[in-house]
Amino acid sequence: MRTEYQRAGLGVLVIATMATMARRAGLAPLVAPVRPSWKDRFPLHSIDDYTSWNRGDGRPFDPWLRVHVRLGAQMLRPEPTSMEFTAPLPTWEGWTGLRFQRDGSYVFPGGLAPLQVIGQVGQYWEPNVWMRHEVPTSP
């Protein structure tokens, strides 16, 4: 009999692998920071607001969050400041292909939230969503 992870296809191979590793290590449940796949389309909306968006069937609007939920994960909470990236402006300009003319907030390709530029430094906080997967005791 195929498990829910197997039925979901290759897109969830990482989730299945993490669940297997957690089970083998006796680290259940699996709690993971999840990067929403469509959040970069809405960088000016907060992660709190974005995670409240649902489709007509009640499942999350975001496809990657929806995969996790479909596999039985519980959304614990959005985290607006999950990872910090601070670097000099020339580094940010190389990463983004943009030129930052003055201090302020900037939207950049692939960013889930705006980049904050102050002086010659850019600071970016990447948001994510903490999700909990119950890990079965047997494969």
Residues of the domain holding 110: 4-133
* Residue 36: cis peptide before it, omega within 30 degrees of 0: no
Instruction: Output the pLDDT for position 135.
Output: 81
Whether 138 maps to a domain, the answer reads: no
Contacts of 25 (CB under 8 A, 6+ apart): none
Whether 81 maps to a domain, the answer reads: yes
Whether 88 maps to a domain, the answer reads: yes
Whether 75 maps to a domain, the answer reads: yes
Number of domains in the chain: 1
Whether 23 maps to a domain, the answer reads: yes
Whether 28 maps to a domain, the answer reads: yes
Q: What's the whole-model pTM score?
A: 0.83
Per-residue pLDDT of the chain (139 residues; tens, 9 = 90+): 445 444 556 557 778 788 888 888 888 888 889 999 999 999 999 999 999 999 999 999 999 999 999 888 999 999 999 999 999 999 999 999 999 999 999 999 999 999 999 999 999 999 999 999 888 766 5
